[in-house]
């Protein structure tokens, strides 16, 4: 456990967000992969090692946890440029998709090759031990899928080999997990609301309140009901609806109406949320407004999300506030606020800092896994002291 590095990883449907060590390193990788060949051409006047690693992630993964073992992938930004890029489909389970594990292993391998405490092996092989905190949608945890997901990760070595990747070409990382904790996403959001990075309580007034947390992701929506500092499993609900389908619809309408092919859903999110030129694209070199397309599609989705909120609140009428979290909340914030002002006027709260909402899960997993590791270390230290005391007593006799 002493050499085990903390990894807190949120494999979101839009992007992976991860914190490592003592929060000294973070990674953000679009959740897009593309099957590829071992040799890929490097185009451009720069040498490979002069290029940005995050734009050129090219790997092979060997792991018994994968259905398609030993496959080669482009990951993240590089994958978005491929004609065969893959994003998670609506209706799929995060815990049962190879893509979730490909993203997870890639992020950890990227940390390991730049982390000085990882153990160098023979040649270009690095042995890396991690204590992992991650999560799954509430629906999947309620179905017990977290148990199988955790067991896939523990007890095996997962190898990531960097192929045509700047600075890391030829390096292999053997990943072993000493600890894996899989948390329900709604509860993780609650932990992030009440604790800071040093695990101190910062929102005491929230601790004993009954609150709702609506987490809008790419493929699913979870509404956690928090009472007595725990998720009420019977009341919590998960829905097979997120923003991905609407993003695809926007992408298709832009292609159909303007003849512009966007690389991925990530491009659509950028058009909707960026600070400057929001709802605009370039068409044949001219700046073009697509607000008519984005507006009607997102409004329809917001109405469905609001209906979820209304139904859950009716069944939990003593709830005091609902917090909206997740990347989907950042996309739908203005629409849901407008609907709420016109209709029920629930006490709802969004995070004005979109980055805070997007990083909330990764930050929560960090706090939870750090708390677990610290408590375990204290317990082991206590047991060692007891053992030493008993040995001293025995020798004294």
pLDDT tens profile 53-68: 999 999 999 999 999 9
Most confident by average pLDDT, 225-229, 297-301, 377-381: 297-301
DSSP alpha helix (H) spans, the chain = 77-80, 98-112, 138-142, 145-153, 185-194, 204-207, 244-258, 265-273, 291-315, 327-342, 354-396
Identify which has the larger pLDDT, 353 or 309.
Answer: 309
Q: Tens digit of pLDDT for each residue in 81-112?
A: 888 888 887 777 889 999 999 999 999 999 99
pLDDT band at 131 (very low <50, low <70, confident <90, very high): very high
**Per-residue model confidence (pLDDT) at position 304:** 97
Q: What average pLDDT does the segment 270-282 reach? A: 88
pLDDT at 135: 93
pTM score: 0.85
Question: What sign for the dihedral angle of Cα 325, 134, 1, 172?
Answer: negative
pLDDT category at 21 given cuts 50, 70, 90 is: very high
Which has more confidence, 168 or 41?
168
User: In this model, does residue 121 exceed pLDDT 80?
Assistant: no
Identify the pLDDT of residue 296. Answer: 94
Has residue 2 got a pLDDT over 60? no
Q: φ and ψ at 197, to 5 degrees?
A: -65, -20
**Model confidence over 212-238: pLDDT tens digits?**
999 898 888 889 898 877 788 788 888
- Mean of all residue pLDDT scores within the chain: 88
Reply yes or no on whether the pLDDT at 239 is more than 90.
Answer: no
How remote is the C-alpha of 314 from its chain's centroid?
Answer: 30
Q: Across residues 9-21, what is the average pLDDT?
A: 92
* In the predicted structure, residue 117 carries a pLDDT above the cut 60: no
From 1-5, 28-32, 92-96, 172-176, the region with the lowest mean pLDDT: 1-5
pLDDT of residue 281: 92
Is the per-residue pLDDT at 392 higher than 70?
Answer: no
185 vs 221 pLDDT, higher one: 221
pLDDT at 126 over 60: yes
Q: What angle do CA 255, 259, 265 make, to 5 degrees?
A: 30
152: enclosing H helix or E strand? helix 145-153
Task: Give the pLDDT score at 236.
Answer: 81
In 3-state terms, what secondary structure has residue 4? coil
Buried b (16+ CB within 10 A) or exposed e, 352-368: eebeebbbbbbbbbbbb
Q: What is the pLDDT of residues 341-352, one digit of tens each?
A: 999 999 999 877
Give all domains of the chain, ordered by start, each with its CATH number. 5-183 (3.30.420.40)
Strand-pairing partners, residue 184, are: 136
Over 90: is that where the pLDDT of 165 sits?
yes
Mean pLDDT of 137-148: 89
Give residue-wise pLDDT tens across range 191-203: 888 888 777 888 8
Of all residues in the chain, what percent carry a pLDDT higher than 90?
A: 57
Facing residues of 349 across strands? 323
Query: How many residues can be counted in the chain?
Result: 397
Lowest mean pLDDT among 66-75, 259-268, 318-327, 353-362: 353-362
In the predicted structure, residue 251 carries a pLDDT above the cut 90: yes
Tell me what the mean pLDDT of segment 270-291 comes to: 90
CA–CA separation, 118 and 138 (whole Å):
33
| % pLDDT > 70, the chain | 93
* pLDDT attached to residue 106: 98
Please compute the mean of the pLDDT values over residues 250-276 and round it to a whole number. Answer: 89
Mean pLDDT computed over 122-137? 90
d(CA 371, CA 369): 5
């Amino acid at each position: 456990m002493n050499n085990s590095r903390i990894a807190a990883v949120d494999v979101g449907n839009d992007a992976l967000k991860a914190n490592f060590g003592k929060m000294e390193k973070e990674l953000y990788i679009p959740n897009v992969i593309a099957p590829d060949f071992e040799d890929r051409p490097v185009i451009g006047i720069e040498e490979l090692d002069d290029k940005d690693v995050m734009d050129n992630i090219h790997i092979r993964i060997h792991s018994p946890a994968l259905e398609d073992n030993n496959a080669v992938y482009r990951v993240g930004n590089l994958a978005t440029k491929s004609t065969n890029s893959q994003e998670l489909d609506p209706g799929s389970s995060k815990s049962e998709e190879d893509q979730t594990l490909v993203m997870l292993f890639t992020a950890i391998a990227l940390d390991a090759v730049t982390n000085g405490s990882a153990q160098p092996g023979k040649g270009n092989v690095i042995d890396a031990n991690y204590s992992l905190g991650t999560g799954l949608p509430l629906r999947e945890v309620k179905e017990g899928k977290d148990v199988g997901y955790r067991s896939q990760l523990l007890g095996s070595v997962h190898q990531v080999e960097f192929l045509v990747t700047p600075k890391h070409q030829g390096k292999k990382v053997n990943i072993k997990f000493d600890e894996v904790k899989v948390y329900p996403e709604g509860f993780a959001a609650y932990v992030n609301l009440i604790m800071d990075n040093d695990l101190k309580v910062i929102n005491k007034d929230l601790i004993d309140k009954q609150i709702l947390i609506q987490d809008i992701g790419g493929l699913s929506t979870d509404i956690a009901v928090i009472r007595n500092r725990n998720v009420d499993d019977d009341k919590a609900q998960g829905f097979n609806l997120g923003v991905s389908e609407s993003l695809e619809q926007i992408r298709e309408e832009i292609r159909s109406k303007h003849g512009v092919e966007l690389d991925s859903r990530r491009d659509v999110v950028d058009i909707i949320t960026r600070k400057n030129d929001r709802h605009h694209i370039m068409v044949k070199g001219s700046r073009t407004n697509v607000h008519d397309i984005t507006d009607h599609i997102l409004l329809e989705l917001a109405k469905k999300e609001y209906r979820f909120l209304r139904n859950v609140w009716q069944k939990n009428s003593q709830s005091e506030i609902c917090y909206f979290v997740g990347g989907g909340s950042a996309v739908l914030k203005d629409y849901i606020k407008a609907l709420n002002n016109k209709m029920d006027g629930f006490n709802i709260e969004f995070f004005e800092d979109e980055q805070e909402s997007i990083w909330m899960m990764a930050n929560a997993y960090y706090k939870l896994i750090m708390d677990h590791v610290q408590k375990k270390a204290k317990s082991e230290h206590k047991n060692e002291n007891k053992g030493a005391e008993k040995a001293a007593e025995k020798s004294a006799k």
